[in-house]
């Protein structure tokens, strides 16, 4: 095995445009009634920006556990409970299909009830509700806006860093949404957070070694969801048990017939396949973080 695969790289990604977004969030928070924090249900902990609290202060907030179609439904339900215990409204959503979004506006109105009552007293009920959508890159912020607006207003792509400036979008029922570029933070204190963000594609592939990343992810998946991995890669039950990460990757590559001349397994290609198939939920509905890990 190549020596570089044995080292755990230090993953960090905080380019200048994210520092700018961070400033923009701070500047714009005064303009909105509520902050919608979009997280990734598969990594519900690592996809929360620890700086958001200080950036948005005590503005009313709602959390979306997005991409719930790709996450373990059981784990997602436990995350909803976890937040509920903290008095925070969290809703599982799938902004690709729109599933779960029916609960969104009613939940926003519920959270904003005190604000709306105050407005009514002042005869200002017709003022639209303004919300800011924040979250890590590639979480689905622009998809959410398009879903709610019922049209393709914001640019959506399957890579992080697509939205670059802020954009107001008015959706029908007196609600204005502010789309924001995705933002990470300057340093991942826990290396695992950086790794998880790279697995899901919130940290772009150019700043990590995908050969290493796919190998790590496979080990991870095999430990947490062995049957799904065995089924997807046509392994016999327990066939990968006790294997070193690189050997497990080779096994999967061989099962997939990813060979190069001389019969060697093309492990780089196998890594890319693992990443792709995890991101596309082809292996199954998987959650890498559960609330019990943080209680």
Ligand X SMILES: Nc1nc2c(ncn2[C@@H]2O[C@H](COP(=O)(O)OP(=O)(O)OP(=O)(O)O)[C@@H](O)[C@H]2O)c(=O)[nH]1
Q: Which spans of this chain sit near ligand X (rule: CB under 6 A)? A: 66-67, 69-70, 94-96, 135, 137-143, 156-158, 160-163, 181-182
Q: How far is the CB of 203 from ligand X (least distance, A)?
A: 11
Q: Which stretch binds Mg ion (CB under 5 A): 103-111, 137-145, 165-173, 271-279?
A: 137-145
Q: How many other β-carbons are positioned within 10 Å of the β-carbon of residue 263?
A: 7
Q: How far is the CB of 26 from ligand X (least distance, A)?
A: 18
Judged by CB, which is closer to Mg ion: 76, or 163?
A: 163
> Does 39 interact with Mg ion (rule: CB under 5 A)?
no
Quote the strand ranges of 24-166, DSSP E.
34-40, 61-66, 90-92, 129-135
Instruction: Specify the length of the chain in residues.
Output: 295
Q: How far is the CB of 180 from ligand X (least distance, A)?
A: 8
Residues 139-168 touching Mg ion, rule: CB under 5 A, are 141-142, 162-163
SS3 of residue 51 by DSSP: coil
Q: Residue 175: which of ligand X, Mg ion, none does it interact with, CB under 5 to 8 A by kind?
A: none
Largest Cα separation within the chain, whole Å, is: 78
The C-alpha atoms of residue 272 and residue 211 are separated, in whole angstroms, by 7
Q: Are 193 and 46 in contact (CB under 8 A)?
A: yes
Q: How far is the CB of 20 from Mg ion (least distance, A)?
A: 15
* Closest by Cα among 30, 39, 57, 35 to 111: 35
Q: Hey, which residues does 177 pair with through a beta bridge?
A: 131, 169
Q: Residue 70: which of ligand X, Mg ion, none does it interact with, CB under 5 to 8 A by kind?
A: ligand X
Judged by CB, which is closer to Mg ion: 118, or 159?
A: 159
Q: Which chain residues interact with Mg ion by CB under 5 A?
A: 141-142, 162-163
């Amino acid at each position: 095995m190549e020596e570089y695969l044995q080292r755990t790289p230090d993953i960090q990604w905080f380019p200048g445009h994210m520092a700018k977004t961070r400033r923009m969030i701070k500047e714009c928070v005064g303009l909105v009634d509520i902050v919608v924090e979009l997280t990734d249900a598969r990594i519900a902990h690592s996809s929360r920006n620890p700086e958001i609290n200080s950036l948005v202060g005590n503005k009313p907030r709602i959390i979306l556990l997005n991409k719930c179609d790709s996450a373990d439904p059981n784990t997602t339900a436990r995350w909803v409970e976890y937040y509920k215990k903290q008095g925070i409204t969290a809703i599982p959503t799938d902004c690709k299909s729109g599933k779960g979004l029916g609960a969104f506006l009613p939940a926003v109105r519920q959270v904003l009830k005190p604000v709306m009552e105050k407005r009514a007293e002042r005869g200002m009920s017709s003022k639209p509700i303004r919300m800011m959508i924040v979250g890590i890159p590639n979480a689905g912020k622009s998809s959410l806006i398009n879903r709610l607006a019922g049209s393709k207003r914001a640019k959506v792509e399957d890579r992080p860093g697509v939205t670059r400036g802020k954009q107001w979008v008015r959706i029908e029922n007196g609600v204005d949404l502010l789309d924001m570029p995705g933002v990470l933070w300057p340093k991942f204190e826990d290396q695992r957070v950086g790794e998880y963000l790279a697995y899901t594609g919130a940290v772009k592939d150019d700043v990590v070694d995908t050969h290493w990343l796919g190998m790590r992810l496979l080990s991870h998946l095999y430990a947490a969801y062995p049957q799904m991995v065995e089924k997807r890669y046509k392994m016999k039950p327990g066939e990968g048990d006790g294997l070193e990460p690189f050997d497990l990757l080779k096994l999967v590559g061989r099962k997939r017939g990813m060979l190069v001349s001389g019969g060697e397994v093309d492990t780089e290609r196998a890594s890319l396949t693992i990443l792709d198939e995890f991101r596309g939920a082809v292996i199954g509905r998987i959650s890498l973080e559960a609330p019990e890990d943080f209680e």
